[in-house]
Amino acid sequence: MDLEIVTIGTELLLGYTQDSNAADIARSLAPIGVRVVRRSTVGDDEAAIRQLVVECLERTGFVILTGGLGPTRDDVTKKAVARVFAAPLELDNDYLEFLRQRFARLGTGPMPGSNRSQAEIPRGAVVLSNPRGTAPGLWLDGALGVAILLPGIPNEMRGILQREVIPRLRVRLNEQHGHLRVTRSRTMRTTGVPESKVADRLTALEPALGAISLAYLPGVDGVDLRLTAWEMPVHEVDGALGSAVALLRPALGSDFYGEGDVDLAAVVLDRMRDAGFALAVAESCTGGGLGARLTAVPGSSEVFAGGVISYSNRSKIRDLGVSERLIEEHGAVSVPVAEAMAHGVRDRFATDAAVAVTGVAGPGGGTPEKPVGTVCLAACLGEHTSSLKRWFPGSRSEVRQRCAQAALDLMRRRLEGAV
Amino acid sequence: MDLEIVTIGTELLLGYTQDSNAADIARSLAPIGVRVVRRSTVGDDEAAIRQLVVECLERTGFVILTGGLGPTRDDVTKKAVARVFAAPLELDNDYLEFLRQRFARLGTGPMPGSNRSQAEIPRGAVVLSNPRGTAPGLWLDGALGVAILLPGIPNEMRGILQREVIPRLRVRLNEQHGHLRVTRSRTMRTTGVPESKVADRLTALEPALGAISLAYLPGVDGVDLRLTAWEMPVHEVDGALGSAVALLRPALGSDFYGEGDVDLAAVVLDRMRDAGFALAVAESCTGGGLGARLTAVPGSSEVFAGGVISYSNRSKIRDLGVSERLIEEHGAVSVPVAEAMAHGVRDRFATDAAVAVTGVAGPGGGTPEKPVGTVCLAACLGEHTSSLKRWFPGSRSEVRQRCAQAALDLMRRRLEGAV
C-alpha cells in the first residue's frame, strides 16, 4: 500500500523548526507494509493545503497530514481538508465536553473560547483520541480516498499514530492483501574500525544475503551496518533478517558491540555490573563528556564511582598523582601520561577499573608532532592496562565525541580480553 | 521570489536519515528575499523525480534539489533533471581532470571508474564547484525555469549553497526587484524564568512591535523569543528588528543572556576571562555534563581548571571535603551539601569560583520528600555563595540538561551581582 505524508507549518518552510514528524511516521509505516512514496511540506495557507491534498489523493488515494490543528487563526488544516472532502464542520458536543473536563482537571481556569473550534469535526470523520493534548486526530474516508489528520506536536502525534492509526492500518492491510509485504531493517553496530576494512571483510558474504540489502553508515561513533528486507512477505521477513545477522556476525568479531540503537556506554556498564566491577574516569580533552556519556545511562551509579576532570597539568599531578617528570618527558598528551591518569583515578576512587583520556581537541593547541586530533587513551582493569594513541579527524566537538567512544571501546575490548 | 525545495533519497522516505538539508537551505533563503512555498521529498526513482521537477517548475519556475548526485547506480537525479530540460549529458574533460587530480592528491589510489559519471554535465548547465567532494553542483536555466542541483552530503551542500548559489540568487533578485522584500529574524534568549512570566512582562509591549511578530519558543534551556520581520523592504528590515530588540530588552532584565544561538557556557566563560577568574566544577547528578558544556567552548582552558565528578557520597567526602555529618543531617541532595561541594572543589583547584550540582535525575532514586527532578545548585565567587533548590520536570536526560543550564545561569547571575 502506497501513501504520502504532508507536514504543514510556515515555520517548517522557513527552516527554523526541524520537521521530525515525517521521518517518525515513515519509520512506523514500512515495517507494517506501507510504502511512503512522497513527502511534502506547505505553509499554514488554506489554498496551498487544499491543492496539495488533492494532488496526493489523485496520486495515491491516501495521505497522512500533521500540523495546523491548533486553536488559533493560523491553524487551517482541518478547514482545508474538510473542503476537499466536501464535509461541513459540525460541533461535536461529546468532544466539547471532553475538552471542558480536560481544562477543569488541569485547574488553569476555564477553557479559552478559541479551543471550542477544536471540537468542530468534519461530518463523517472518525475522531482519533489524543490523551496528551486538545487537538483530536481525524480519519476522513471519502470518494477521493483517505486523509488522516494528526497534530504537529511530536509527542501528541506519536501517541495517536501508535494507538489509533497503526492498528487501523494493520486491519486495512490484512483486508486488502492476502500476501502482505513489509520492509524491515536491523542495524549492527561496530566501532574502532574504518568503513573500508569492514567492507573488505563482508564483501565475500554479500551474495549470500540474497534479497536483503546491506548499507554502510559511517558516523562519528563508528560504522553501522543496516540490513534491510524490502517488501518481503510478512511471514518470511524476520527469519530472513535473523539469518543475515547470523551470517555477518562472525566476520565482525570484536568490532561488533550491539544492535539497533544500543549505546556503547550501556554495553560497558552492563558487562561491568555483571562482573561486579566499579569504574572511575580521568578526563582531560573530553572535559566531563565521558562521565556524561556513562551517567546518561539510568542505573549507572551501581558501577560508576565518579572521576576527575583534569583540564590542567597541575590537576593531573595533584589530583591523579601523575609525576611531573613524566609530563615533562612525554608531554601531557602521551600514552604514559594517559596510563598514569588511569592508575591515579583508579587508586583515588579505589575501583577495579578506570579509563583515562588526554588529547588535543582543537581548534588551538596543535603542534607539528601532536596536531589537533591527537589523543591518547588508557583503560586499566585489575593488573592489565591497555592504551593507544590515535589521530581523529573533524571539529573540536567530533574529536571529543570520537575520543569518548574510543575510550569506552578500549574498556569494552579490555573486558573481552581482546586488547 | 518564490521557489520550491526538493530533497531526494529513498533513505529519507524511510525516515532513517533525517533531512537537514531542506531546513538548512530555507534558513539561508528568507533573509535574502526568497520565499520557499513548498518542500518535497521523493526516492531515488527517475520517473518520480522527473514528475516532481516538472510540477515544481509549473508552479514556481524555480527549484533547488539536493541528493542523488553520487557515482553509484542509485544516483539518478542528474539524469532525471537533464531529461526534463532536454539537455543531453556530455563528458566535461576539465571536470574529469579536476576529479583525477583530486584522487591523486588524496593518495588513496587511482580514481574509481564509477566517478567518471560525475564529470558528465547536462549541456548548457553551469558547474558550481564543490571543494569538499566529487559531485559538482549544477545550475540549469531553460524555457521551463531554473533547477539547481546540489549534493546531499550536508557539508558539501552547504559549501556550494553559500559560495555559489546565494551570491547568484542575490544578483538575480537585484535584477528583478527594485523594491526587494526579505524575511529576517532575531532571537533573544532567556533562562530561569517560565514562559508565562516572560509573556506577562512583554504583552504590554507587543502592540509597539508593529509589523514584527513575536514567537515564544520554550525549550529545555529556557525560553527563546523570536522576532520576525516578514517580507519587509530590505533597507528597513535590520533597523526595524534592532528597534524591536531594544524595546524588549529592558523588560527581560537579568533573565536575558544573549542573542541568536549563543551558548550560556560561552557567556559565563567570556565574563570570567574578562575578569581574570578561574573556575572549577563539582558534579553529582550531571556526571560530567557541566564540565562537558564548558569545555565544548574553544579556549575554555584559559578559564576552566577542571573538576570532580562525585557520583557517590564517599567521593563527596574524600575528594571535596564535604563533612559526613552534613550529608547525614541534610541528605546528599541538599543546599548545604551543594554549597560544601562548591567550596570543596574551589579549595582543591585553588580557583576564584566554583559551581556544584547535586540532584535526583531519575528514573530511580526519588523519595516523597525529594522526588525525581529535585536538584540543589551552588555557585561561589570570592566571598559570596549563591544557592538554590529546584524541581525540574522531564526525563533523566532533560533533568540533567536543565540542571547544567541552571548551574551556569546561577554563576552568570552571581557574576552580574543579580543573586
Tell me: the pLDDT tens digits for B132-176? 888 999 999 999 999 999 999 999 999 999 999 999 999 998 877
With cut-offs at 50, 70 and 90, classify the pLDDT of residue B178: low
A190 and A96 in a common domain: no
Distance from CA of B288 to the nearest CA of A (A): 4
With cut-offs at 50, 70 and 90, classify the pLDDT of residue A419: confident
| Whether the Cβ atoms of residue A212 and residue A244 lie closer than 8 Å to each other | yes
pLDDT greater than 90 at residue A324: yes
- A291, B291: Cβ pair inside 8 Å? yes
B133 and B64 in a common domain: yes
CATH of residue A203's domain is: 3.30.70.2860
B219 and B138 in a common domain: no
pLDDT in tens, B57-111: 999 999 999 999 988 888 899 999 999 999 999 999 999 999 999 888 877 778 8
Work out the mean pLDDT of chain A and round it to a whole number.
94
- B38, A13: Cβ pair inside 8 Å? yes
Asked whether the CA dihedral B212, B214, B215, B219 is positive or negative, the reply is positive
pLDDT (mean) for B202-228: 92
B85 and B220 in a common domain: no
pLDDT greater than 80 at residue A107: no
Amino acid A178: pLDDT: 65
| Cα–Cα distance measured from residue A39 to residue B22, given in angstroms and rounded to the nearest whole number | 12
Given its phi and psi angles, is residue B50 left (phi above 0), alpha (psi -120 to 50 degrees) or beta?
alpha
Q: What percent of chain B has pLDDT over 70?
A: 100
A240 and A283 in a common domain: no
Report which residue type is found at B360. Answer: V
Final residue of a structural domain among A228, A259, A290: A259
**Which residue in chain B has the smallest CA separation from A404?**
B292
Here the cell at position B374 is 529535585
Q: What percent of chain A has pLDDT over 90?
A: 84
B410 and B319 in a common domain: yes
Least confident of A174-183, A252-261, A322-331, B29-38: A174-183
pLDDT (mean) for B254-281: 97
A207 and A81 in a common domain: no
Here the cell at position A86 is 466536501
- A52, B38: Cβ pair inside 8 Å? yes
Work out the mean pLDDT of chain B and round it to a whole number.
94
Contacts of A15 in chain B (CB under 8 A): 22-27, 30, 36
Integer-rounded Cα radius of gyration of chain A:
28
- B298, A364: Cβ pair inside 8 Å? yes
Amino acid A176: pLDDT: 72
A48 and A137 in a common domain: yes
Least confident of A139-153, A209-223, B290-304: A209-223
With cut-offs at 50, 70 and 90, classify the pLDDT of residue B345: very high
Distance from CA of B343 to the nearest CA of A (A): 16
Alpha-helical (H) ranges within B253-288 are 264-275
| Cα–Cα distance measured from residue A244 to residue A240, given in angstroms and rounded to the nearest whole number | 6
A115 and A219 in a common domain: no
Structural domain boundaries enclosing A87: 2-176
B312 and B248 in a common domain: no
- B364, A27: Cβ pair inside 8 Å? no
- A301, B312: Cβ pair inside 8 Å? yes
Of B226, B288, B298, the CB nearest to A307: B288
Contacts of A215 in chain B (CB under 8 A): 11
pLDDT in tens, A175-203: 776 678 899 999 999 999 988 889 989 99
- A308, B310: Cβ pair inside 8 Å? no
Query: Cβ of B31: how many Cβ atoms within 10 Å?
Result: 14
Final residue of a structural domain among A120, A147, A176: A176
Distance from CA of B90 to the nearest CA of A (A): 30
The full DSSP string for A238-271 is: HHHHHHHHHHHHHHHGGGEEEETT--HHHHHHHH
Here the cell at position B271 is 565574563
Query: Cβ of A88: how many Cβ atoms within 10 Å?
Result: 12
DSSP A52: H
Amino acid B196: pLDDT: 86
| Whether the Cβ atoms of residue A172 and residue A34 lie closer than 8 Å to each other | no
Amino acid B177: pLDDT: 67
B245 and B129 in a common domain: no
With cut-offs at 50, 70 and 90, classify the pLDDT of residue B119: very high
Here the cell at position A326 is 613524566
Which of B295, B302, B372 best probes binding to A when mutated, by most A CB atoms within 10 angstroms? Answer: B295
Contacts of B287 in chain A (CB under 8 A): 288, 291-292, 294-296, 300, 304
Amino acid A105: pLDDT: 84
Distance from CA of A41 to the nearest CA of B (A): 5
Helix (H) or strand (E) holding B287: none
**Which residue in chain B has the smallest CA separation from A363?**
B298
pLDDT greater than 70 at residue A412: yes
A212-219 β-sheet, strand order: A212-219, A222-233, A181-190, A256-259
Least confident of B36-40, B233-237, B291-295: B233-237
CATH of residue A33's domain is: 3.40.980.10
Helix (H) or strand (E) holding A360: none
Final residue of a structural domain among A176, A194, A225: A176
Amino acid A240: pLDDT: 97
With cut-offs at 50, 70 and 90, classify the pLDDT of residue A111: confident
Distance from CA of B38 to the nearest CA of A (A): 5
pTM score, two decimals? 0.89
Amino acid B405: pLDDT: 98
Distance from CA of A43 to the nearest CA of B (A): 7
| Cα–Cα distance measured from residue A212 to residue A226, given in angstroms and rounded to the nearest whole number | 10
Of A15, A23, A315, the CB nearest to B23: A15
A154 and A255 in a common domain: no
Amino acid A385: pLDDT: 97
Domains held by chain A: number: 3
pLDDT greater than 90 at residue B189: yes
pLDDT in tens, B368-404: 999 999 999 999 999 999 999 999 988 999 999 999 9
CATH of residue A279's domain is: 3.90.950.20
Amino acid B139: pLDDT: 98
